[in-house]
Structure 1
Amino acid sequence: MEIMAEHEMIFSNEILLKNLMAEHGTELKRIAYLYVKDYSLAEDIIQEVFISCYHHLNTFRQESSYKTWLIRITVNKSKDTLRKWSFRNLIPKNDIEPTLLEIDTPETNAVSVAEKKELIRNVMKLPIKLREVIILFYYKELSVQEMCEVLQLSESTIKTRLFRARGKLKASLERSGFHG
């Protein structure tokens, strides 16, 4: 009887994992890419994310959505990758691929392609602590509270980083002649 229940749980976890991969895989890959700036490395991170997800599905406490939980895992795995000596010293960073960051909304459609690329280049130049809040807030449309959960930081820290990131981004865009 226990063996049957265990097989059913494994089967349901596999179905849930496949659904989570289909629903969030591309979005999580973009987040990982924004951290590591390397497409193949981002794919490796996402594989690690879903392996970790599968191993911990039974311990997921439903305190947040699966999306928030997966973003937190992705951010942590991406940061771990950035901290690795081999990544910092041996892996060359490819040129940024702005098309990975583009989101089809009425606002972004109104901005020209050249301006989008300039904006993305300037976001990617921000220090990681500032870049991540811009990405999560504007590109992933997470609330400040969701960002607190994902980054495991206080609300005041998130708000301070958003304020600083906006200021740095505005200054760098003005220097580059951005008119958006």
Structure 2
Amino acid sequence: MNVNAEELLSRIAAEDRQAFQQFYQLFAEKVFNTALSYTQNLQDAEEVTQDVFLSIHQAAANFKAKAAVNTWVYRITVNKSINFLKKKKRWALFHLNYTQKEQTDFEHPALILENKENAKLLFQFIASLANKQKTAFILSFVEDLPRQEVADIMGLSLKAVESLLQRAKKNLRAKLEKSYPNRRI
């Protein structure tokens, strides 16, 4: 079945539940995987995913097709993920029970089992990047989106995205070299 996402948004704006279910089925995996790349926690990614689809439901009538629906959904997901992490960090300052262990136990479902420890460390390093570098890196290398789509999602030029990716790779390389001084990276 060929589904037009813009048409679904129009139907969602008209309170069509079936259209919302179809839209959810179309984008849920992408939204969840992107949120998981940011939050590095299954429950947090589920919460962000719910928040994204609530926002989509509320904003469906305001979609103006200035960008592709896919780009719009990724943009909402990235913003919700970043805001969630900021809120969680602020909340953690008020609770002494918070431990960094919650962040370090991340295991992305797509990881190859034999490289679990290396991948866990890599995702920790990705999480430590500046937000724009992290977003460009996740969308480009984890979600495997074309660079131009990443630029559209981030509201930047293609050249700016390439620059962010270069800085992200440089920063990741430096962190990896520090962690593995005897390896060529």
TM-score normalized by the length of structure 2:
0.72
Paired residues of 2:136 and 2:161 also in contact (CA < 8 A): yes
| 2:107 alignment partner, one of 93, 98, 101 | 98
Instruction: Note closer, same or farther for the CA distance 1:68–1:175 as it changes in structure 2 (3 Å cut).
Output: same
- Displacement of 1:88 after TM fit? 5.2
8 A contact 1:81–1:87 mirrored in 2: no
Counterpart of 1:3 in structure 2 is: none
1:136 match:
139
Residue type at the aligned position of 1:31: T
Residue 96 to residue 74, structure 1, CA distance change in 2 (3 Å)? farther
Deviation at 1:7, TM superposition (A): 10
Partners of 1:179 and 1:22 lie apart in 2 by 43
Deviation at 1:142, TM superposition (A): 1.6
> Is contact 1:35-1:128 (8 Å) kept?
no
1:163 and 1:54 mapped to 2: Cα distance?
36
Could you list the runs of 5+ residues in structure 1 that have no partner in the other structure? 1-5
Which runs of structure 1 show a deviation greater than 4 angstroms over 4 or more consecutive aligned residues? none
The yes-or-no answer on 1:10 pairing with 2:19 is no
User: Aligned in 2, Cα 1:8/1:72: closer, same or farther, shift over 3 Å?
Assistant: closer
The structure-2 alpha-carbon separation of the partners of 1:81 and 1:29, relative to structure 1 and needing over 3 Å to count, comes to same
SS at match of 1:99: coil
Within the alignment, does 1:154 sit opposite 2:157 as a pair? yes
2:72 corresponds to 1:69: yes
Alpha-carbon distance in structure 1 between the residues aligned to 2:13 and 2:82? 35
TM-score (norm 1): 0.74
C-alpha spacing 1:175/1:63, structure 2 compared with 1 (3 Å): same
Instruction: Give the corresponding residue for 1:33.
Output: 36
AA partner of residue 99 (structure 1):
H
What CA distance in whole angstroms lies between the structure 1 residues aligned with 2:105 and 2:92?
17
Distance 1:66 1:179, change over 3 A: farther
Q: Using a 3 Å threshold, how does the CA distance of structure 1 residues 7 and 150 change in structure 2: closer, same or farther?
A: closer
> Percent identity among equivalent residues?
23
